[in-house]
Structure 1
Amino acid sequence: MSLKAPPTILELAVKNLLGNQDFTISVLQEMPTEFFPSLFKEAFNRRCMRILPALVSSWPFACLPVGAMMKVPDVMILQAVLAGIDMLLTQKVHLRSSKLQVLDLRNEHNRFWDVWAGLEGLACSKGMLSEEQKCKGLPRYALRQPLKVVTDFELKAELDEQQAYLLQWAQQQKRSVKLYCMKMTICETSVELIKAVLKTFPQDSVEELELSRNWSLATLSRFAPCLGQMRNLHKLHLDRIDMYTDIGTNPLTDREEKRESKFMSKIFKLNCLRHLSMNYIFFSGQLLKHLCRSMMCPVESLSIQGCLLSEPDLEHLCLWPRLYQLKHLKLHGLSLLNLSPTHLQFLLEKVSDSLQTLELQHCLISDSQLRALLPALSKCSKLNRVNFFDNDISTSLLKDLLHCMANLSTLTEEFYPAPLECYDQGGLVLLMDRFANLCPDLLNILRSKRHPKKGSFGTTFCHKCLRRCIYDLRTGFCPCHKKR
């Protein structure tokens, strides 16, 4: 029977301080810096609304990452925190100048709460503070400089209560506070609402943007100027944007082509863009052609999922020089079955010195196509992750692939499909005994050259329970097959 550890002196002190909030507020200016993180966390968890504003206004660190503790929207907590900022901005005399420069409202893990509370110079918002600011406290006059409030926004049909309150507060304090949005997700949002929100903060503060909705070409072209203002955009994720109801049946009119071109031209001018992801996007057949001709910045990661790629599309993509420093390539849910492997082979050769992750999942790759890629794959010496799940590969060709991969010592994660011989002639029914017998021999191919750190063989998804049967060091059947 384990005994519960007795409370530390700091925990006892925090408990006593919260038990007498009036006294605690009166002595915050003289309180040791080391007390603040623990006292703030406990006051936050107990929802001590009286002391929270006082703690914020006296915060002795450069950054307050309160968003890391707000797992769900909580307008009352937000009001208390912003009330503390109001107190900080209106105070004229300080026994101890506040060092707060950044209020971070992003709901993501922050190392600040994990480390020793005495790290006074710890900054929490990447890119928001200079090295000198990270190490030194602010002088008194710095309170007249705009304080930075960093957040993320997920825009839907309407603003939620917390978003509306934050935007209204930021407008009221716009002379003293700068609101920055680092990541924006737009889903089923009107262009009017988007423009209203974007007016509240510098648009060049947006570093990551996700567009996820069905937009007409007219609507997309109206949004284009907003996109053009996001000059520091590093990541762009386009998800399920289907602008056409009759794909492939009617060509675009001149007006429609101009609208598409207006939107695409803004993407081309994003000089900081390094990560591009397109899921289930249906533009005209000229999309990749224009993209590859006009986009000037080198791309580090490219993800294409569920899009219709033609032979010219694949050719334009693989001949795009800006991809030749690519580190991460993901092609998922594409039909490559009837396309020549030559272009993809050429791209793999070009990126062999930089490519770290390669995912060719559910791409209907045939034996002959994969065989053509093997020489290029063998040169990708920096690969640490590969995924070939859900491709119809024979045992013979899969063995050749494994011999090729066995020579890549940098691989730490590798996922291979169960070979075709594990299914019946129709390819729908899994032959469990054959799967269990074949996989150990396949895994031994890797083991003959190195010890695989994380290697798995997976079947297609079971149509009943939507799970795979997996073999790594042992066979793991999905619930449906376990019952047989």
Structure 2
Amino acid sequence: MSLLRDEALAISALEYLPIELFPQLFMEAFYWSCRETLKAMVQAWPFVRLPLGGLMEMPHLGTLQAVLDGLDVLLSQKDQPRRCKLQVLDLRNTGQDFWRMWSGSSIQVSSSSLEEPVAKNRPRTHRTLAPLEVFIELHINGRIMDGFLAYLMRWVEERKASIHLCCKKLKIESMPRDNIMKILSMVQLDCVEEVRVNCTWRLSSLAVFAPLLGQMSNVQRLLLSHMDVSALEDQEEQYVVQITSQFLRLHCLQDLFLVSTFFLEGCLDQMLRCLTNPLDTLGITHCLLTNSDLTHLSQCLNISQLKGLNLSGVTLTYSSPELLPGLLEKVAATLQELYLDQCGIMDSQLEAILPALSHCFQLNFFSIRGNFLSMAVMDKMLQHTSALPSLCQELYPVPQESFSSLGILQLGRLAQCRAELLEILKDLGHPRTIWISSSPCPHCGEDTFNHPEPITYGSNTSA
């Protein structure tokens, strides 16, 4: 703190300050809110990246204003100051290793996490015409923006030609649609790699948002959740086409999650036809799917390499018996995680998928909680899955014999079923742990408790 007792002296010394002392001085100026020093240090920052977000546990408007004031001075200059190599302002919660390393903390830092003091392939004395990049993680919620985000957005909007606002992770939960569109108009959408949209939008609102999604050509992970289609809309079919057609532009998409997106009922094939490359993970949960939807899903070429499949909450009780086995056969060679919770699966349907399930040799996680299964079928299931070499996490429902005729869990019956399941594991003859859960309840769907109990057979263990 000695140098910062006199801010004017600290600022005048920056030209001669050794590079390795910059981070430590910046941290002290940050913690002591020496805004003029921060402003000056930005103009002389000798590293490619300034990971400011790594210092802020909570967004701090005063610090942001000081840093942006410093950037304004830089942007107004034709020639970049001799020492300044700054190209990226990072406001994400990253960069902690950088600050620890330069503060002298005894921490082992990988070479990939270090910030280089000299920009590669950039002139040392003159600013290139490439815009400065500002990285943020956008979480859009509430009716209005908080002060930190609002200030940043105004600053970016006034300097569009000089600033690229980059966002790797975008999360939209709630905000008037027009406000969302205005914010996204300032973001370099081709930088976005992960998108989560959890809004009760009507289909028409989602159709307006869809072209922006199409511009996110590098998105790898997409979640759409809780789209509101309770009210019928005149152009519903047209809106579905506008939405699904944007998937043609998502050439990097690997993981797709659709949660309570009821507009896909009966037209899932429209979206599947627009997938341009094989998916790694597909989650379609708590949605209504027709037999036609499930048929198209099992025939889709771009799911044949799935590592993760989640159909939890999709009612399969009345689906054609060959559809789910056909889907599992399609993905058996690569599937590692399978979720079939609360699908209304009964004994006959589970028996139908057992041959396909036993071919999923890469499977390491399997959950089928909240379904209606008897002890006899669970016995068969455990026998079929015992040959899967990678399977290490198994979550099963409480057997139906544990419930009364009114659907009430009987703890005495449950204890008896657990003892029988342990005997089945012993008969199969190799160490194994399975988890039996009455949550969610197959009768009412309620979460009765959150910690399923394991049944373990193996050395030095007991049930």
TM bin, normalised by shorter chain, reads 0.7 to 0.9
* Displacement of 1:361: 1.3
The alignment partner of 2:369 has SS state of coil
Quick one: structure 1 residues 465 and 121, their matched pair in 2 at CA, closer, same or farther if it must change by over 3 Å? closer
Report the secondary structure of 1:272's partner residue: coil
Give the corresponding residue for 1:179.
165
Residue 432 of structure 1 aligns with which residue?
Answer: 411
Q: How far apart, in 2, do the equivalents of 1:445 and 1:48 lie?
A: 69
Q: Label 1:80 to 1:383 Cα distance change in 2 as closer, same or farther (>3 A).
A: farther
| Alignment partner, residue 449 of structure 2 | 467
Say if 1:285 and 1:174 are closer, same or farther in 2 by CA, change over 3 A: closer
Please report how far the alpha carbon of residue 364 of structure 1 lies from its aligned counterpart in structure 2 after TM superposition.
1.6
Q: 2:64 aligns with which of 74, 78, 81?
A: 78
One-letter code aligned to 1:262: Q
The answer to whether the 8 A contact 1:235-1:276 is kept is yes
Correspondence 1:317 to 2:297? yes
Q: 1:435 to 1:204 in 2, by over 3 A?
A: same
Matched, 1:442 2:427: no
Please report how far the alpha carbon of residue 459 of structure 1 lies from its aligned counterpart in structure 2 after TM superposition. 1.5
Which residue in the other structure is 1:209 paired with? 195
What is the alpha-carbon distance in structure 2 between the residues aligned to residue 404 and residue 391 of structure 1? 18
Q: Given residue 397 of structure 2, which amino acid in structure 1 is its aligned partner?
A: P
Query: Whole-Å Cα distance in 2 between the matches of residues 335 and 277 of structure 1?
Result: 17
Matches within 5 A, 1:233-252: 233-245=219-231
Partner of residue 141, structure 1: 126
The counterpart of 2:318, out of the listed 321, 338, 350, is: 338
Residue correspondence of structure 1 range 41-120 to structure 2 within 5 A: 41=27, 43-90=29-76, 97-107=83-93, 112=98
Q: How many residues align?
A: 446
* TM-aligned CA distance change 1:412 to 1:52, over 3 Å: farther
The amino acid of 1:74's aligned partner reads H
Q: Which residue in the other structure is 1:363 paired with? A: 343
1:5 match: none
Aligned equivalent of 2:244: 264
Aligned residue type for 1:204 = D
User: C-alpha separation between the residues in 1 aligned to 2:50 and 2:389?
Assistant: 42
CA distance in 2, matches of 1:360, 1:346: 15
Instruction: Supply the distance in 1 between the matched residues of 2:186 and 2:200 (Cα, whole angstroms).
Output: 25
Give the SS at the match of 1:358. Answer: strand
Q: SS of the residue aligned with 1:361?
A: coil
Q: Specify which of 353, 362, 375 is matched with residue 382 of structure 1.
A: 362
**1:174–1:414 CA distance, 2 compared to 1 (3 A):** same
1:416-427 map, 5 Å: 416-427=396-407
Instruction: Tell me the secondary structure at the aligned position of residue 126 of structure 2.
Output: helix
Is residue 204–residue 231 contact of structure 1 (8 Å, CA) maintained in 2? yes
Instruction: Tell me the residue number matched to 1:458.
Output: 437
Contact 2:265–2:287 under 8 Å retained in 1: no
Find the aligned partners of 2:429 and 2:124 in 1 and give their Cα distance. Answer: 60
Normalised by the length of structure 1, the TM-score is 0.79
Aligned amino acid, residue 220 of structure 2? H
Question: What amino acid sits opposite 2:224 in the alignment?
Answer: L
Listed as ranges, the gaps of 5+ residues in structure 1 are 1-14, 247-251, 475-484
Q: 1:138 and 1:399 mapped to 2: Cα distance?
A: 70
Would the aligned equivalents of 2:307 and 2:334 in 1 still touch at CA under 8 Å?
yes
Structure 1 pair 54/338, CA: closer, same or farther in 2 (3 Å)?
A: same
Distance 1:261 1:40, change over 3 A: same
Residue 392 (structure 1) aligns with: 372
Q: Which residue of 2 aligns with 1:199?
A: 185
1:449 deviates by 5.7
Matched-pair identity in %: 35
Judged with a 3 Å threshold, the aligned counterparts in structure 2 of structure 1 residues 223 and 468 are, in CA distance, closer, same or farther, namely closer
Residue 139 of structure 1 and its aligned partner are, at CA, apart by: 3.0
Deviations 1:106-164 (A, max 9, x none): 24686545667697974589xxx9xxx98788633345432211112233433222222
In structure 2, do the counterparts of structure 1 residues 40 and 227 end up closer, same or farther at CA, with 3 Å as the change threshold? same
Deviations 1:235-277 (A, max 9, x none): 222111122425xxxxx75x43223222222233322222211
Contact 1:328-1:356 within 8 A present in 2 as well: yes
| Cα separation, 1, equivalents of 2:198 and 2:30 | 34
* Cα drift, residue 307 of structure 1: 0.6
Counterparts in 2 of 1:105 and 1:159: CA distance versus 1, 3 Å:
same
Structure 2 counterpart SS, 1:81: helix
Structure 2 gap segments, 5+ residues each: 457-463
Two-structure CA RMSD over aligned residues (Å): 3.5
Q: Tell me the equivalent position of 1:348.
A: 328
Deviation of 1:183 after TM superposition, in Å, equals 2.5
**Contact 1:409 1:450 survives alignment (8 Å):** no
Deviation at 1:184, TM superposition (A): 2.4
Task: Give the 3 Å change call, closer, same or farther, for CA 412–244 of structure 1 in structure 2.
Answer: same
Query: Alignment partner of 1:76: what SS?
Result: helix
Indicate conservation of the 8 Å contact 2:44/2:81, yes or no. no
- Closer, same or farther: CA 471–149 of 1 in aligned 2, 3 Å: same
Answer yes or no: is the 8 Å Cα contact 2:43–2:73 preserved in 1.
yes
Kindly indicate whether the alpha-carbon contact (under 8 Å) linking 1:337 and 1:363 is maintained by their aligned counterparts in 2: yes
Checking the alignment, whether the CA contact within 8 Å between 2:81 and 2:126 is kept in structure 1 is: no
CA distance in 1, matches of 2:430, 2:10: 61
Q: Residues 471 and 214 from structure 1, CA distance in 2 versus in 1: closer, same or farther, beyond 3 angstroms?
A: closer
SS in 2 for 1:154: strand
Partners of 2:18 and 2:431 lie apart in 1 by 51
Return the offset for 1:332: 1.6
